[in-house]
Structure 1
Amino acid sequence: MPKLGMEEIRKEQVIKATENCIIEKGLSNISIKDIAAEAKLSTGIIYHYFKNKDDLLLQVLKEAFRKSHEQVMQTVEPIGDSVVKLKKHIEYIHAVPKDNPEFYAVLMSYLGEAQHNPKVKKIIALFFKNLRSYIVHYLSKNTSQAVGIQDRSRVELLAAMMIGLGLGIGIQWTIEPDFLNLEQLTVDFQDVLGGYFSRSPTADG
């Protein structure tokens, strides 16, 4: 049991060191030697826990998404009402660039690799899919009463819009933090979605 604990500690240490190297140098500019120096470990120890550099980089991406999902569950899941849950989820998404800038630094690095690396693309696609499914799940519980959306396809579209706008704003703020007021954007985003809720099903065309 102690040996398993040490293994997890070492893996976390290496993953964090890799994340730091990615943020500092960029995904394509780091080596196992760089990571070993950052982690203050030998390259042999890194290869003991990870098959190769590609395996390690994939684990870093998975861990970033795992932590993001865990934080969403802690922040949003305890809320019962679907609309309140949605608004809190929006607040959480817009707070990430400030509260967890490392997430966006890592995400932006890997997005550039997604079109060239099928494994990276698959992990990112799964992250988006799971996030959409979670939003659809809690909105579908009482959409007709609380949200006013009776068509499931509109709920799915809402989830895609929420993720697209949220991540897009986060990326813009990461690049130009002085240009965007995240707090005001959160309020405006909630107002936009409020208008989406109020549209009647017949207005879809």
Structure 2
Amino acid sequence: MDVRSVVTKNKIKMALLNCIKEKPLANILNKDIIAKSEVSTRTFYHYYLDKDEVLNEIENEILAGLKKINDQDYQNVTQVSSPLTNETNVALAQKEFKYLIDYCDTVKEEGTILLSSNGDINFANKIRELSVKETKRYQVREILGLVQVKSPVQLLLLLKK
């Protein structure tokens, strides 16, 4: 995609976010986005069918970013070749958390708008679904970490809890 297309699509996406700041998503019309983005009607419809498609693209980009960060963090953990101690396990978790926080900071404004009372309630559900999937993966990682640092007897005692 050329630079002009990227710039135009970003203008349209920002226009939708700015519209959401002013009124509920359900009350926003395509023409509102077109006016705010200062693109022609023809240009808007060249890139998007309607506001829902713009909204889905914004949300999917954020969710894909969250997934990508988690994938990178997970790769970092799985590449550890030495046995994990409690200290190194904690250090890895802090490092992972930092990457996630850094990413969330970059999409803070968009996320705040989308999760506002004017925003899309379905976005909160999409985040929740992704979080559940990623949490399960981290639970597996935690179990694998415990297997490396706990004795079989200690693991059995943990399972009883």
Q: Report what 2:121 is aligned to.
A: 113
Question: Which segment is superposed worse, 72-81 or 23-32?
Answer: 72-81
Q: Distance in 2 between matches of 1:131 and 1:113?
A: 21
Unaligned runs of 5+ in 1: 115-119, 151-199
Q: Rg: which structure is higher? A: 2
Q: Is the 8 A contact 2:20 2:28 kept in 1?
A: yes
Q: Secondary structure at the match of 2:16?
A: helix
Mapped pair 1:64 → 2:21 = no
TM-score (norm 2): 0.61
Partner of 1:51: helix, strand, or coil? coil
Compute the TM-score of the two structures, normalised by the length of structure 1. Answer: 0.51
User: How far 1:124 moved relative to its partner?
Assistant: 4.0
Q: Which amino acid aligns with 2:16?
A: T
Structure 2: gaps of 5 or more residues: 81-87
Q: CA deviation at 1:47?
A: 1.7
1:135 maps to 2:138? yes
**2:85 corresponds to which residue?**
none
- Give the Cα separation in 2 of the matches to 1:203 and 1:40: 62
CA contact (8 A) 1:19 1:60 kept: no
Question: Separation in 2 of the partners of 1:124 and 1:94?
Answer: 15
Q: C-alpha deviations, 1:47-105, integer Å up to 9, x for none?
A: 22112222222222112222333455567754645432322334455667766432431
- 2:108 maps to a residue whose letter is P
Do residues 45 (structure 1) and 43 (structure 2) align?
Answer: yes
**Would the alpha carbon gap of residues 18 and 136 (structure 1) be closer, same or farther in structure 2, given more than 3 Å must change?**
farther
Identity %: 22
What CA distance in whole angstroms lies between the structure 2 residues aligned with 1:40 and 1:88? 42
- Write out per-residue CA displacement over residues 18-71 of structure 1, whole angstroms, 9 at most, x where no aligned residue: 233324444334332232233221232122211222222222211222233345
Report the AA paired with residue 111 of structure 2. Answer: Y
**1:55–1:104 CA distance, 2 compared to 1 (3 A):** closer
CA distance in 1 between partners of 2:9 and 2:137 (Å): 28
User: What is the CA-CA distance between 1:122 and the residue it aligns to?
Assistant: 7.1
Q: Which moves more between the two structures, 135-144 or 58-67?
A: 135-144
> How big is the shift at 1:144?
1.8
Residue 83 of structure 2 corresponds to which residue in structure 1? none
Query: Contact 1:22–1:106 (CA<8 Å) still a contact in 2?
Result: yes
Equivalent residue letter for 2:13: I
- Partners of 1:97 and 1:8 in 2: how far apart? 22
Counterpart of 2:31 (choices 24, 30, 33) is: 33
Instruction: Find 2:111's aligned residue among 94, 99, 104.
Output: 104
What's the Cα RMSD here? 3.8
